[in-house]
Structure 1
Amino acid sequence: MNKKYTIKDIALLAGVSKGTVDRVLHKRGKVSDIALKKVTDILETIDYKPNLIAQNLKNNKTYHICALLPDPEVDNYWKRSKIGILNASQDFAAFNVIVTIIEFNPQFTESFIENHERVLKEKPDAVLLAPLFYKEAQKAITDYKKLNIPVITFNNQVTPITAEGFVGQDLIQSGRVAARLFETTLREGNITIIHINEDITNARHMQEKETGFRDYFNSITTSTFNIATLHIEADKLDTTLTSYLENNSDTLGLFITTSKSYLVAETLELLKKDDIILVGYDLLDMNVKYLKSGRITYLINQNPNHQAHLGITKLAEYLIYQNKISKTTYLPLDIINSENVMQYIINK
């Protein structure tokens, strides 16, 4: 069952010459209908699969994947995504797969547009895209589709202009998970959803988390929770949050929809607010610090390293093996607290 058939083997089984088999396999030259049927019948019987990697290497076939990524120097969350991309690049380097990372400033849509144009000029065989800006990402995916360039998005999805595949978490479900954590911890009270530093109208990932969060509490007919939403600019977070808590002193929980929970934790520490439950995202070093100290109660791990690594892997396997790209690949929603965080730090 595991025999590797050579052209010579197939020729003997079909009763034709090796040259005839070669012409059938590579679809070149003339082959009689009788010989063609003999060879194709044998190929179907043995379930023949050519060694695509060997063929690509022999033909010096090179595949180029571009990854359009937010600059980790501006937002540290994307540092682990970059590591995942670089590791995947090494995994497939032996198969003539080249991965180019093109970074954009996550604070400016203009930077995304400019660097998307750079990707187009590269004329890649495939693209891995972090669609941070929803409207601009839709336009980018449309541009790639016009050029028949397959695209996988990661971290958050883009609809209705969809890519070939998505790798990440179900963000609505992650919002529901966060809501469940508050319900089991508080039982009742006032909770505020905090969006930091992004235009919510163009940040679908934050919208979906809030939707899931609110949907969960709306589904509880006897809910005794009151939910509010607060938008804060990072450079004004200290004064804005301090003023908000002074005017809303009955706030018992804060849900941070980005990886910047540590900024909120810093302010709570200065205010000596020890009775507020804080739930956020991601294992940034500063988030882990406040998780260990108890200032952050829970973190939901989005695993950016694995998201990006899997995205590149799927694109490489599509190019090399013609493997089908799954439309949606959801990763688990890991709930991290001070007791299990070290296990995730060691294995990240």
Structure 2
Amino acid sequence: MATEKIRIKDIAERAGVSVGTVDRVLHERPNVSPAAREKVEKALAEMDYQPNVYASALAYNKDYLFCCVIPMHESEAYWDEIEEGVKACTALRRDFHISLKILYYERFNSASFENIAKECLDANPDGVIVVPARLDITRDFTEQLSDRNIPFILLDSYLPDLKPLAFYGQDSFQSGYFAARMMMLIASKEQEIMMMKQLNNGHVGSKQQSNRETGFRHYMRDHFPEISIIDVDLPLGGTKAQYDKILEDFFKEHPHVHHCITFNSKAHLVGEFLLRTNRRNVQIMGYDMVPKNAECVRQGSISFLIAQHAYMQGYACVETLFQAIVLKKEVNPVNYMPIELLVKENIEFYRRTNVG
């Protein structure tokens, strides 16, 4: 008997119980004796009954609020695509009465994260997506979520000790290791490589970026220990004139540098400088298919981009909350995104919004 034609009345007759008893079992309500529950469950198995979870969720007619806690950011950045993804999935599931609240905290500002965490808790959400800040304050936030039985997903940095419902992001160490291996296909004869960073009080932007650097340096130490890696800091919030001076001074001092690496989405800061100063013998490798990076790839100043599907990550986080909270389904706890290499010849074929 096809599931869609199985009525509660049919199940009740098969089990020898009342329709009300079947309804209580199907909806996991109390006041069902063990014997009656066993009869219903046996009948369900014999009839191969599969509940229509989508129809049930729609009929339940409950409102759901998901919160997304992410860093404040500029336009044309990795976080822009995350936002697009979470909004797109929320719109797709709007028939299930899902709403989304995006909350922004200042990176490297513990008080800002704590204030946003409080605002999130005050909203009493049904599920949360959170980009971790410092471990101790993130742990304090997630423990409060756990105490309230609010499922949360970690994005960007995987911290399994916090016991998230799921994680989405790249294996950042492997990503950095891969970046070094790809760069060395064209830079193995170099003496020096520039590593562009954007530091705040001596700290990189995220644990993910730090792990990428660790993976990169690990590969270089094992395979090309003779190549020097020279750090260059382009300060957060700097002007184009400031960046130009730092980069001009660097390249004058290091005329033998032909390759650069950065682990954030701002490779275009160097790429655009190279184009403006007509330095065609220098190339940079970076992350994220944001528009300015893509244009530098087309123009040839960025040789490689590693894509991490930010849009798909945002989309998948909301979809996972939907599956777990609304449909009561099990979800995959660890979801590593693909490590994809984009170059001039294939960048036009990269579909950052592809979630199918």
Question: What TM-score results when the alignment is normalised by the length of structure 1?
Answer: 0.89
Query: Which residue does 2:244 correspond to in 1?
Result: 238
Q: Pairwise mapping of residues 46-65 of structure 1 onto structure 2 (< 5 A)?
A: 46-65=47-66
Does the 8 A contact of 2:67 with 2:100 survive in 1?
A: yes
Structure 2 distance, partners of 1:237, 1:134, is 31
Offset of residue 149 of structure 1: 1.4
Does the 8 A contact of 2:311 with 2:353 survive in 1?
A: no
Query: Which residue does 1:203 correspond to in 2?
Result: 206
Between 332-341 and 30-39, the greater mean CA deviation after superposition: 30-39
Amino acid at match of 1:102: L
Task: Name the SS of the counterpart of 1:297 in structure 2.
Answer: strand
Query: Which residue does 1:229 correspond to in 2?
Result: 231
Q: 1:286–1:201: structure 2 CA closer, same or farther, 3 Å change rule?
A: closer
Query: Which residue does 2:328 correspond to in 1?
Result: 322
Structure 1 distance, partners of 2:30, 2:143, is 38
Amino acid at match of 1:172: F
Query: Which residue does 2:146 correspond to in 1?
Result: 145
Q: 1:233–1:30: structure 2 CA closer, same or farther, 3 Å change rule?
A: closer
Query: Which residue does 2:220 correspond to in 1?
Result: 217
Q: Pairwise mapping of residues 21-32 of structure 1 onto structure 2 (< 5 A)?
A: 21-26=22-27
Offset of residue 143 of structure 1: 2.9
Structure 1 distance, partners of 2:279, 2:135, is 35
Structure 1: 5+ residue stretches without partners: none
Structure 1 distance, partners of 2:117, 2:330, is 25
Task: Name the SS of the counterpart of 1:200 in structure 2.
Answer: coil
Does the 8 A contact of 2:3 with 2:50 survive in 1?
A: no
What is the identity percentage for the equivalent residue pairs of Structure 1 and Structure 2?
27
Q: Pairwise mapping of residues 1-348 of structure 1 onto structure 2 (< 5 A)?
A: 2-4=2-4, 5-26=6-27, 34-73=35-74, 76-106=77-107, 108-131=109-132, 134-158=135-159, 160-189=161-190, 190-198=192-200, 199-200=202-203, 203-220=206-223, 223-234=225-236, 235=238, 236-344=242-350
Task: Name the SS of the counterpart of 2:93 in structure 1.
Answer: helix
Q: 1:166–1:28: structure 2 CA closer, same or farther, 3 Å change rule?
A: closer
Q: 1:269–1:63: structure 2 CA closer, same or farther, 3 Å change rule?
A: same
Structure 2 distance, partners of 1:258, 1:116, is 25
Structure 2: 5+ residue stretches without partners: none
Between 312-321 and 199-208, the greater mean CA deviation after superposition: 199-208
Does the 8 A contact of 1:56 with 1:62 survive in 2?
A: no
Q: 1:49–1:63: structure 2 CA closer, same or farther, 3 Å change rule?
A: farther
Structure 2 distance, partners of 1:115, 1:225, is 44
Does the 8 A contact of 2:198 with 2:205 survive in 1?
A: no
Q: How many residues align?
A: 347
Structure 1 distance, partners of 2:17, 2:318, is 42
Does the 8 A contact of 1:261 with 1:287 survive in 2?
A: yes
Structure 2 distance, partners of 1:208, 1:306, is 21
Offset of residue 289 of structure 1: 1.4
Q: 1:140–1:35: structure 2 CA closer, same or farther, 3 Å change rule?
A: closer
Amino acid at match of 1:205: Q
Amino acid at match of 2:182: L
Structure 1 distance, partners of 2:133, 2:243, is 21
Structure 2 distance, partners of 1:297, 1:170, is 22
Q: 1:41–1:155: structure 2 CA closer, same or farther, 3 Å change rule?
A: same
Offset of residue 259 of structure 1: 0.5
Which string of whole-angstrom CA distances, capped at 9 and with x for unpartnered residues, describes residues 299-323 of structure 1? 1112110010001100110012222
Q: 1:50–1:341: structure 2 CA closer, same or farther, 3 Å change rule?
A: same
Q: 1:32–1:214: structure 2 CA closer, same or farther, 3 Å change rule?
A: closer
Offset of residue 185 of structure 1: 0.7
Which string of whole-angstrom CA distances, capped at 9 and with x for unpartnered residues, describes residues 231-250 of structure 1? 33041432223323333332
Q: 1:148–1:30: structure 2 CA closer, same or farther, 3 Å change rule?
A: closer
Structure 2 distance, partners of 1:41, 1:137, is 45
Question: What TM-score results when the alignment is normalised by the length of structure 2?
Answer: 0.87
Task: Name the SS of the counterpart of 1:324 in structure 2.
Answer: coil
Offset of residue 252 of structure 1: 2.5
